[in-house]
């Protein structure tokens, strides 16, 4: 008894989806958020050899590339092949207010984490207002109210 029952319609749908997706380069899911003064991005890269991960930054574009490959060994009987293999790439446009010189990346449990600090020049700051050139006149408490005269 086979491990998985063959469904010709499911196989046809899978092949159709695969053919439609061949036109674009495979990508991978990502979460990105701001944590204090740092931008954090998590990329799901399960089964990827860490040595194949490549991160490049050029002209405000962060490019993450990786490769996942698997080939059945001789004598293996393929029962299902649904995982996407090959080269993966994801590009993200970064704003000017990030300190890309201090960009860091780590890979743990199939998740690539990229952290980018917010640049000092982009952080909000308080601006003091200087008061210059104004003369302050004080009202003398002994002075008479307007419209009254003592003559």
- Each residue's pLDDT, cut to its tens digit, for the chain (151 residues) gives 344 555 666 666 766 766 665 555 667 899 999 998 899 999 999 989 899 999 999 888 899 999 988 888 898 888 888 888 888 899 888 888 888 889 999 999 999 999 999 887 766 778 888 888 766 555 555 545 555 555 5
Q: How long a stretch of residues is the chain?
A: 151
Determine the pLDDT at residue 53. 94
Q: Where are the domains of the chain?
A: 25-68+86-122
Name the CATH topology of 25-68+86-122. Immunoglobulin-like (2.60.40)
Determine the pLDDT at residue 1. 38
Determine the pLDDT at residue 133. 73
Residue 50 phi, psi dihedral angles, 5° rounding: -55, -30
Give this prediction's pTM.
0.63
How many CB atoms are located within 10 Å of the residue 109 CB? Answer: 5
Strand ordering across the sheet containing 61-68: 54-58, 61-68, 86-93
């Amino acid at each position: 008894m086979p491990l998985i029952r063959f469904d010709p319609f499911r196989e046809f749908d899978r092949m159709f989806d695969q053919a439609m997706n061949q036109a674009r380069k495979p990508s991978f899911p990502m979460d990105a958020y701001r944590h204090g003064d740092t931008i954090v991005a998590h990329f799901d890269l399960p089964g990827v050899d860490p040595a194949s991960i490549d991160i490049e930054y050029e002209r405000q574009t962060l490019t993450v590339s990786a490769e996942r490959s698997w080939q059945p060994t001789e004598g293996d009987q393929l029962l299902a092949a649904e995982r996407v293999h090959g080269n993966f790439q994801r590009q993200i446009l970064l704003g000017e207010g990030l300190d890309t010189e201090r960009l860091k990346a780590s890979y743990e449990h199939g998740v690539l984490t990229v952290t980018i600090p917010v640049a000092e020049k982009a952080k909000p700051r308080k601006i003091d207002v200087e008061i210059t050139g104004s003369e302050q006149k004080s009202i003398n408490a002994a002075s008479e109210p307007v419209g009254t005269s003592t003559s």
